[in-house]
Amino acid sequence: MIVVDRITKTFSVSRQQRREMGPDFKGSRIDAVREISFTCRPGRIFTLLGPNGAGKTTMLRMIATMLKPTGGKISVAGFDTVDQPVEVRKRIGFLTGSTGLYDRLTPDEMIKYYADLYGMDAQTYGRRKEEIYGLLGINEFAGRRIGKLSSGMKQKVSLARTIIHNPDVVVFDEPTSALDVVTSRAIIQLIKRCREENKTVIFSTHRMGEVSLLSDDLAVIHRGKLIFNGAYAEFEKQMQTRSVEDEFVRLVEAD
């Protein structure tokens, strides 16, 4: 379970960033996330939907303890992200569309590296590795250097790395961006599988097809604020337009 309680995140703005933002921007700080609250429950997929720069990645990075909130509290699997970050990290798997791999390692070495960082014992690791390798079909290229693998193979290694420690909570930050249809499908299947395994899943996207395909709960974020938060079924019920995409655009433009 993830409980986000009135989270705010403020970044200081450098001189160069101020220049990039143009003359209209005044001040030295910017609110990336403002007073956001939501709850992600086990066995459900929580979708964070928003345009580029809305604050989705900042929100997910705070959940994954990479960033500290300026205000508010986040609890992941019962642990506070600021006070008990290591406990939180033990329980989450994190994957982004731009997640990289170590090209000079083999998939075996890469996944073992993360298993060691998660403190997995040899027996648990062996069992889990066998299960995931079988599921994703990694065995055939497990000993080859990652740099020599195709992008589809690499994505499978990324997925294996994300779930090797069998996390209770899985965070996907635009996991299918810049991926082809076949590879995207593998990720979507994994997200569904995580739900079947009663994990808490939060994923951010701006692909409307994925929203309707996967979401149990939905939050729409724009300029750091939540403009919708509820069950996906409820979102569909209150739609004033014909498609999810049109409704999303309507909400964003109305904000």
Partner 1 sequence: MNRFATIFRKEVTDTIRDRRTLFMMIVFPLLLVPALMIVVTNMQMSSMKKAEEKVLRVALVSHANAPGLVAALKARTDLRIAEGIPADSMEAMIACDSIDAGVVVAGDFDDAVAGMKSGTITLFYKSSDDFDMVKRRLSGVLNSYEKQIVAGRFAKLNIDAGIVNPVTLEEHDVASMKEKIGKTVGGMIPYLFVLFCFMGAMYPAIDLAAGEKERGTMETLLTAPVSRIQILLGKFAVVVLTGLLSAAVSILGIFLAVRQLSKIPPEVLSAVMTILDVKTVFLVLSLLLPLAVFFAAFLLSMSIYAKSYKEAQSMISPLTIVVILPAIIGMFPGIALDEVTAVIPVLNVVLATKEIIAGTIKTWLLLEVYASLLVLAGLSLFGCSRWFQREETIFRGV
In the complex, which residues of this chain contact partner 1 (CB under 8 A)? 11-12, 61, 64-68, 86-87, 89-90, 92, 94, 96, 98-105, 109, 113-114, 116-119, 161, 171
How far is Cα 38 from Cα 63, in angstroms, rounded to an integer?
12
CB 182 → partner 1: shortest distance, Å? 21
For 197, phi then psi, to 5°, come to -85, 15
| Nearer residue to partner 1 within complex by CB, 114 or 228 | 114
For tokens 């109305």, the residue is: 254
SS3 150: coil
| Nearer residue to partner 1 within complex by CB, 64 or 244 | 64
SS3 10: strand
CB 99 → partner 1: shortest distance, Å? 5
CB 8 → partner 1: shortest distance, Å? 14
Q: Are strands 45-49 and 71-76 parallel, antiparallel or unpaired?
A: unpaired
For the chain, the straight-line distance linking the first and the last C-alpha, in angstroms and rounded, comes to 29
| Nearer residue to partner 1 within complex by CB, 103 or 246 | 103
CA angle 247, 253, 254 (to 5 degrees): 90
Q: Are strands 71-76 and 2-12 parallel, antiparallel or unpaired?
A: antiparallel
CB 65 → partner 1: shortest distance, Å? 7
CB 119 → partner 1: shortest distance, Å? 7
| Nearer residue to partner 1 within complex by CB, 21 or 117 | 117
| Nearer residue to partner 1 within complex by CB, 50 or 69 | 69
| Nearer residue to partner 1 within complex by CB, 23 or 100 | 100
How far is Cα 70 from Cα 67, in angstroms, rounded to an integer?
9
Q: Which helix (H) or strand (E) holds 251?
A: helix 244-254
CB 222 → partner 1: shortest distance, Å? 22
Q: Which helix (H) or strand (E) holds 157?
A: helix 151-163
